[in-house]
Amino acid sequence: MNSIGRVFMEKTKYQYLEESDQDLGLPQPPLELSCPEGAEVVSLPKIEQIKTQSLDLTEAINRRETCRKYRREALTIDELAYLLWCTQGVKRVTSRPVTLRTVPSAGARHAFETFLLINNVEGLQPGLYKYVALEHKLRVVNLKAGLAESIVQITGNQKFIADSAVTFIWTASIYRMKWRYGERSYRYIHLDAGHVGQNLYLAAQTVGSGVCAIAAFDDDALNDLLGLDGDEQFAVYLATVGKV
Ligand SMILES: Cc1cc2nc3c(=O)[nH]c(=O)nc-3n(C[C@H](O)[C@H](O)[C@H](O)COP(=O)(O)O)c2cc1C
């Protein structure tokens, strides 16, 4: 059986991997993609300043469930900042250097970038934003109308996206992972994504919100909308968040 999936699993076994760029002594790529010159940025409250409801871990795990119906109540900027920190927050930059974040990542390569479709967050105009994890800030990407409707279409008409307060869109900057792991990186980014998604599911409960993970989307259309080439940068996973 030569199905694409089986070939992928076979050919990404260690025995087939070539020397990586790290093995060849090439310098590692930056820890995060840089902001374009003159980009508009929005500061976020620091994690130490944010008060959230405390929640017993066993209870949070037990209560976790997918939620696709949301109240039309805005998330506060504190709540959004908290969720961003829980999913991609940088705790430390080591001397290697790598980022150590609130989620694990193979080799601490942390290949994700986080886009946000903001529909209903206090103090933020609806539109597309990007999390600058190293600075714990938001960058404004695109405030044109109709983005939510486009993403609904791109995900096969998952209408609740338009009712969510915010939709997280995790994209891979694959060379950050490939520099060390070569073709095996395509396995690792999807494993990494699971950790990010679960942190969002659990953390959302402390801010009175529910989450729905989304992996059904038209890759090319979503990459186009985000301005990604679909090769070096591409969408991996989405998740809606809204008050319940
Ligand atoms: C990788 C992955 C992809 C998913 N994609 C979608 C999706 O595109 N649309 C959707 O409504 N739910 C999606 N879900 C949510 C699942 O349907 C949900 O987790 C499952 O039905 C189990 O329900 P629970 O999360 O409440 O335990 C996805 C979940 C995962 C983990």
CATH number for the domain spanning 53: value is 3.40.109.10
Predicted local confidence at residue 104, as pLDDT: 98
Task: Read off the pLDDT of residues 118-136 as tens digits, 9 standing for 90 and up.
Answer: 999 999 999 999 999 999 9
Q: Note whether residue 117 is domain-resident.
A: yes
How high is the pLDDT of residue 1?
Answer: 73
Q: Is residue 215 within 6 Å of ligand 1 at its C-beta?
A: yes
Domain that holds residue 209: 39-243
d(CA 103, CA 125): 28
Specify whether the CB–CB gap between 125 and 143 falls below 8 A.
Answer: yes
Distance 143 CA to ligand 1 centre (A): 28
CA dist 51 and 65 (Å) reads 23
1: in domain: no
Pick the closest to residue 132 from 30, 33, 229, 236 (CA basis): 33
Over residues 229-243, mean pLDDT: 98
Q: How far is 58 from 64, CA to CA, in rounded Å?
A: 10
According to DSSP, the residues that pair with 130 across neighbouring strands are 115, 139
3, part of any domain: no
Amino acid at 133: A
Residue pair 156/216 in contact (Cβ under 8 Å)? The answer is: yes
- Domain for residue 31, yes or no? no
Asked if pLDDT for residue 52 goes beyond 90, the answer is: no
**Alpha-carbon distances of 63 from 32, 59, 168, rounded to whole Å:** 34, 6, 21
CA gap 196, 194 in Å, rounded: 5
Q: pTM of the predicted model, to two decimals?
A: 0.98
- Does any domain span residue 137? yes
For residue 67, the ligand 1 atom closest to its alpha carbon is: 26
Is 8 part of a structural domain of the chain? Answer: no
What gap in Å lies between CA 230 and CA 40, rounded to an integer?
25
* Mean pLDDT for the chain overall: 97
Nearest Cα residue to 130 out of 118, 145, 147: 118
User: Going by CA atoms, what residue is nearest to atom 18 of ligand 1?
Assistant: 66
d(CA 65, CA 91): 27
In a domain, 21, yes or no: no
Does the C-beta of 66 come closer than 6 Å to ligand 1?
yes
Omega prior to 36 cis, within 30 of 0: no
Residue nearest (by alpha carbon) to ligand 1 atom 3: 215
Residue 91 to residue 46: CA distance in whole angstroms? 12
> Is there a domain that residue 7 lies in?
no
Report the 10 Å Cβ neighbour count for 29: 17
| Distance (Å, whole) CA 164 – CA 235 | 19
Q: Please state the domain count of the chain.
A: 1
User: What's the mean pLDDT in 158-175?
Assistant: 98
* Ligand 1 atom closest to 217 (CA): 8
pLDDT at 96: 92
- Ligand 1, atom 21, lies closest to the CA of 66
What average pLDDT does range 64-77 have in this prediction? 98
Does 236 contact ligand 1 (Cβ within 6 A)? no
Ligand 1 site, residue 84, Cβ cutoff 6 A: no
